[in-house]
Amino acid sequence: MNIKFNITCFNEGQDLIDKITSSEKLYDIIFLDIFMKASNGINIAREIREFDKDCKIIFITSSNEYAIESYDARAIYYILKPINEEKLNNAINIAIESLNKENKHIIIKNKKGSYRIVYKDILYAESKARVVNIYDKCGEVISFYSKLEDFFQSLQDERFLRCHKSFLVNMDYILKIEQKHICMNNNIIIPISSGSILEIKEKYFKYLFNEI
């Protein structure tokens, strides 16, 4: 893996918080101990989440006492000391894969120009008369000429689900699946193709399991 890292070290968790709040410096991956001289790593992680919802937090500590609490701060990994190199490498790889997933995008072209659309911003897409409308999580719509199936194939990403001949959804924003429709964020209802409810639920739960 040929990746360059810029590494910053802090002796105390509060020093990290001060850096984030004073310079608006954000970090992609943060390694935190839980037992520090003047602070608790769980509390520091919760403070970090107030400023940064997306950074990848990895706890490296001497006790499994706080393993469950670490999930409250959305930590992606919990490593016990002494550090096992294989587990450390695995944690870093998971963090990098997650960051790459969040930055994944597609270029869409229409009469107005070219648009860079980040996958994580796509809520769902709808096809009408050979026009695909992409709806993002902020309510913006990008329209372009294409078959929905061609667009779906071009995404090549497991988070997207083809639930109907005219719709695909981003499973990250599914609230619940009912018998005839999917409830999305922002109270959006997406229809499900007749007879496909079991297949759709199976794909959704498989995706959720893989994300854990």
pLDDT in tens, 110-167: 988 889 899 999 999 999 999 999 999 988 999 999 999 999 999 999 999 999 999 9
pLDDT at 212: 57
Average pLDDT over residues 47-51: 87
Q: Is the pLDDT of residue 9 over 60?
A: yes
Distances (CA, A) of 146 to 152, 153, 179: 10, 12, 29
Global confidence as pTM: 0.65
Q: Where are the domains of the chain?
A: 13-103, 105-211
How many Å apart are CA 107 and CA 155, to the nearest integer? Answer: 10
Helix pair 41-51, 13-23: axis angle to 10 deg: 10
Can you count the helices (H) and strands (E) in the chain?
6, 13
Does domain 105-211 fall under CATH 3.30.465.10? My reply is no
**Topology of domain 13-103, CATH:** Rossmann fold (3.40.50)
Distances (CA, A) of 209 to 69, 166, 167: 20, 26, 23
Per the prediction, the chain carries an average pLDDT of 91
Cβ–Cβ under 8 Å, residues 196 and 204: no
